[in-house]
Amino acid sequence: MEVKLIKAVKRHPCLFDRSSTDFRNQYLKEEAWVAAAISTGASVEQCKQRWKSLRDRFVREVVSQQSKPESAAKEKNKWCYFELLSFLTKHVNPRKMKSKRQSSIDDQSISSYSPATTQSDSCRTTDCEWIELQQDRGEPNDSQSSFETPTSKKAPKRRRLGEEPHEPCSQPAKQKPENKAFLVMLDELLQKKPAQVQESKNNTHASFNHLCGTLEKVFSAKKESKNKAFLAMLDELLQKKPEEVQEKLKMEVLNHVHNSAAQFKTLEMSVVLFLVATIVGYVLYSLIQSMKRPKNFPPGPDFIPWMGNTIQLRKEARASGGQHLVFEKWSKKYNSDILGLKLGSEYVVVALSFPLVHEVHISEVFDGRPDNFFLRLRTMGTRKGITCTDGQLWQEHRSFAMRQMRHVGYGRTEMEQYIEKEADSLLTYIDELHGEPTWPGSFLAPSVLNVLWTLTAGKGIGRGDKRLQKLLQLLNRRSKVFDICGGVLSQMPWLRYFAPNWTGYNLICQMNQEMHAFFLEAINEHRASITKENAESDLIYAYIREMNEHSDEAENSTFSETQLTMTILDFFIAGSQTTSNTTDLALMMLALNRDVQKRVYDEITDNLEKHKIPVNLCNREYFPYTSAFIMEVQRYFHITPVTGPRRALRNTTLGGYNVPKDTTVLIGLRVVHMDKAHWGDPEVFRPERFLDADGKVFRDEYFMPFGQGRRRCLGDALARACLFSFLTKIVHRFRIELCEEALPSVVLQPGITLTPKPYKVRFVNRQ
């Protein structure tokens, strides 16, 4: 190890210079010690200790001239001694060092501090080291007087390099590890005597620039951080004369660094506390606001923070059998015919009496539609169509659609012909069953949609069309997953990210995708075949013609392919559920009430055979009991027990309570249809309640299955015509009998619309 160490010292002679304060030499020393440690395989501290012991031993021998190379060669490490002695003899010559110290250094020549320099750039021995060598020999320091200057005689005795100060000074409790090497060098700098500093005026500026350059390299990473103030004070420190540098200044610099760090930590803590306080304050504010009821808001259950009444409503709806029953229960509990709720973040008002329902129907302030996530998802992410829009767009396209539908036969003789044709097809399908038990709901929906699609697209859809069957299945699932309030997807739309199937999000997306592809195919076919002759033969042709006429002002026009698609969707959804479900329930009640079925059949037979009156909607006055029976089915089962939703277009009042702007308003039709004060026995199925003393049908103001006012159902004419035509033709040809293996139930399944539970009946041909 000694041989390798001496070779490393020969390659790095700066390791011998212990007194140099040049920052560059200090940096080179550290690199040299690392290189020596690598070459010897020992640690840096071990190399330093071994080198110190060798140096002390052989320097004494060279200085005292008591040791000779010949005697040292006899030792075990003979070659090591020769190498070390020749190296030390070359660099340590006491006589030469003494001759260089004959004159004192003038204090005035030191204008600013710079590291000590000698004429040789190689390793050198200073006065301090020479004095140490003499003291190691035990000799007095008789050369001290020749080294002292007038200034140094007056100055108090200074401590030697590495010696502890006579007066203890306070040190900071902790120092940053990255500043330790620098502080050691700074300590050496402050302990130097002026007499020990050798300076040349010719290279003062060059040495100082070299020192600054070295500092920039050592602290380059720190300049971009929090130590800028420290480096600025350090530059000021290095420009002072050595005699002006005091220990107090050093402590001030270090204290400034620690104070800056403490201030920064305090600032960080203050920022964190401010952010935490802001978040907590916002949470508390939103908590209070979510539980607060608007001024003079209708009565209802207390709001749960951030949830409102969503959890309460869903929990009680599952137990009661539907939201409409929960609304009636809460109405009795709070003794009010108007409820004020909060579902998610939306305020909801429920009207539960005939006067309030009538006011909501006819008042323009309640003509709006909510703009929430569920309704936008229902219209494929847009606010288009007719059913889910309001304002100018709704007025323009509702008028256009109804005008074009009437033009192609809606509510007229042409529509009756389409319905008659589809009714005949339905009878053929039932004949093919040959009296086998079946559920009427499985084949009624395609018949209703065929009539509607004929008016919309100019042609029907085959009953066996797989796409049609898939769409009907999706629509049926949709009606059961959601409710009139939109379900949990409307009140907490963020749940779709965690439970897309449970919330029904995937179902709606799949249905939208299937319907959009189905409608787009029909639109493209019409676009390719449109002519002047057929431009108004159906609704799709009429929309395409209108789009072409407004093509120059496409930006301002509301007629677009998206608007057409959403309009078709509105008709499709409206016609596929309510009409077919009502017809299904009518057939079920005929099977359950044989006397009612017989009376309807007798009325139909008498008019057809005796009076030769065809069975159609135009002649419904000749079939009063049949018409009353259909009306009682609509009243008794109320397929849509809660209609809407509506939106308050401005701040208003309802029933003496405040209704804030954009509040969702729901209409409780079931309460009106089951009002005991008006109907007497609403729980009893009795068609005669719609017949007067003369046996004619009369219109009761409490009967409103299709709503009232400008928002009245678009498809009421189609629904009434299909109901009357399908029912009379089926009853005239078939006798409807119960099937014991699957009896029907008058308790319906809740959802957006109430649907009958699957049951089975037999259609027995009367002939």
DSSP string, 473-539: HHHHHHHHH--TT-HHHHH-GGGGGT-TTTTTHHHHHHHHHHHHHHHHHHHHHHHHH--SSSTTSSH
Q: Which residue has the tokens 């130590």?
A: 227
What integer pLDDT is reported at residue 67 of this predicted model?
A: 44
Q: Tell me the C-alpha distance between 741 and 743, whole Å.
A: 6
Contact assessment for residue 204 and residue 241, using Cβ atoms and an 8 Å cutoff: no
Cβ-based neighbours of 315, under 8 Å, separated by 6 or more: none
Q: Tell me the C-alpha distance between 463 and 193, whole Å.
A: 111
Q: Which residue has the tokens 């003899």?
A: 89
Nearest to 17 by CA among 179, 180, 153, 130: 130
What integer pLDDT is reported at residue 105 of this predicted model?
A: 32
**Residue type for position 417:** Q
pLDDT exceeding 90 applies to what percent of the chain?
A: 25
Domain boundaries, the chain: 1-101+123-155, 178-193+204-292, 380-483+493-638+672-765
Report the largest interatomic distance among the alpha carbons of the chain, rounded to a whole angstrom.
156
Q: How many CA atoms lie within 13 A of 514 on its CB side?
A: 17
What integer pLDDT is reported at residue 248 of this predicted model?
A: 56
Contact assessment for residue 754 and residue 638, using Cβ atoms and an 8 Å cutoff: yes
What integer pLDDT is reported at residue 175 of this predicted model?
A: 42
What integer pLDDT is reported at residue 27 of this predicted model?
A: 59
Q: Which residues of 149-166 are buried (b: 16+ CB within 10 A; e: fewer)?
A: bebbeeeeeeeebeeeee
Q: Which residue has the tokens 């001759």?
A: 99
What integer pLDDT is reported at residue 234 of this predicted model?
A: 60
Q: What are phi and psi of 465, to 5 degrees?
A: -60, 120
pLDDT in tens, 451-489: 888 888 888 787 778 878 888 888 888 777 777 777 778
Task: Give how far Cα 116 sits from Cα of 96, 189, 202, 242, Å.
Answer: 19, 11, 13, 12
Nearest to 410 by CA among 719, 729, 699, 728: 719
Tell me the two tokens of residue 637. 């089962």
List of the chain residues with pLDDT < 70: 1-2, 9-28, 57-254, 256-258, 411, 553-554, 575
Facing residues of 438 across strands?
761
Phi-psi region of 730 (alpha: psi -120 to 50; beta: other; left: phi over 0): alpha
Q: What are phi and psi of 643, to 5 degrees?
A: -105, 175
Nearest to 578 by CA among 456, 752, 730: 752
Nearest to 620 by CA among 766, 702, 727: 727
Q: Which residue has the tokens 């029904």?
A: 504
Q: Tell me the C-alpha distance between 667 and 350, whole Å.
A: 6
Q: Tell me the C-alpha distance between 605 and 601, whole Å.
A: 6
State the pairing for strand pair 664-668/734-738: unpaired
pLDDT in tens, 560-615: 888 898 988 888 877 677 888 999 999 999 999 999 999 999 999 988 887 777 77
Residue 500 Cα to chain centre, angstroms: 15
Contact assessment for residue 565 and residue 520, using Cβ atoms and an 8 Å cutoff: yes
pLDDT in tens, 80-101: 444 555 554 444 444 443 333 3
Cβ-based neighbours of 438, under 8 Å, separated by 6 or more: 760, 761, 762, 763
Q: Tell me the C-alpha distance between 110 and 198, whole Å.
A: 9
What integer pLDDT is reported at residue 111 of this predicted model?
A: 34
Give the dihedral of Cα atoms 316, 319, 320, 323; nearest 10 deg: 40
3-state class of 496 per DSSP? helix
Query: May I ask the CATH class of domain 380-483+493-638+672-765?
Result: mainly alpha
Counting runs of H as helices and runs of E as strands, what totals does the chain give? 30, 8
Q: How many CA atoms lie within 13 A of 234 on its CB side?
A: 21
